[in-house]
Amino acid sequence: MKINQAMILASGRGNRMMPLTKDLPKAMIRIGNVTLLEDKIIKLAESGISRLVINTGYLGDYIKDHVGDGSKFGIEIIISDEGKMPIGTASGIRKAVNHFNDKPFIVVNADIWTNYLFINLMNYELETNQMAHLVLTPRPDYQKGDFNLGDDGHIAPGSTYTFTGIGLYRPELFIKSDEKELGSILKQNQSIKAEIYNGLWHDIGTPERLNMIRKTIGL
């Protein structure tokens, strides 16, 4: 079953990106001619995603006004407004999970930059008892790392690899948990597998990293 639905997490306030995010959501920061958010929308749409949920928070009207109903991207976009105060990544997904009709869906962080091909994840078949499939990357120098990876493909606590913010999930993972943050759910669950991506990936968490990726790709 090919995955055709996804969610972009775009509700972060972006405190570490100040002053760039004083009057603009972090997801609306530009790299070249596109915003961080547009970059994900375009790549997901080109891969075959037809329904996309975007959660918003701080200055969320900028995002809502910019993306509209998704028609200009050729897909359906649903905005999940979380209000001005952060509710947590897992809570944000849980709030929107009914839009996915009890079927698996992809989640992507808006504040990353990667050339990962989402088509690979869209064609991934979750095993019967597998709650999620994550995309990990070798730990960059500026992070502590999130997981190790066992020979059987299951994630384990550790610091060898960093979670890219890209994953495929079953809705039950969020329905059966009341944790506020996605990281907490992932570290507690024993039925999650992952793959390693060695291509371009950056976490755009600070102005310095933003400048670094702009230099890397020549923009």
Q: Say what the pTM is.
A: 0.94
pLDDT band at 164 (very low <50, low <70, confident <90, very high): very high
Per the structure, the complete domain to which residue 41 belongs is given by 5-216
pLDDT of residue 142: 83
Distance CA 147, CA 163 (A): 7
pLDDT band at 197 (very low <50, low <70, confident <90, very high): very high
Pick the residue with more confidence: 6 or 216?
A: 6
Q: Are 157 and 217 in contact (CB under 8 A)?
A: no
CATH number, domain containing residue 112 = 3.90.550.10
For residue 167, the cross-strand partners are 107, 134
Distance CA 167, CA 118 (A): 10
Q: Residue 219 pLDDT more than 60?
A: no
Mean pLDDT of 118-125: 92
pLDDT 10s digits, 139-159: 988 888 999 999 899 999 899
Mean pLDDT of 132-145: 92
Report the number of distinct structural domains present in the chain.
1
Angle at 172 between CA 171 and CA 177, to 5 degrees: 115
pLDDT band at 128 (very low <50, low <70, confident <90, very high): very high
pLDDT band at 52 (very low <50, low <70, confident <90, very high): very high
Q: Are 169 and 100 in contact (CB under 8 A)?
A: no
pLDDT of residue 143: 82
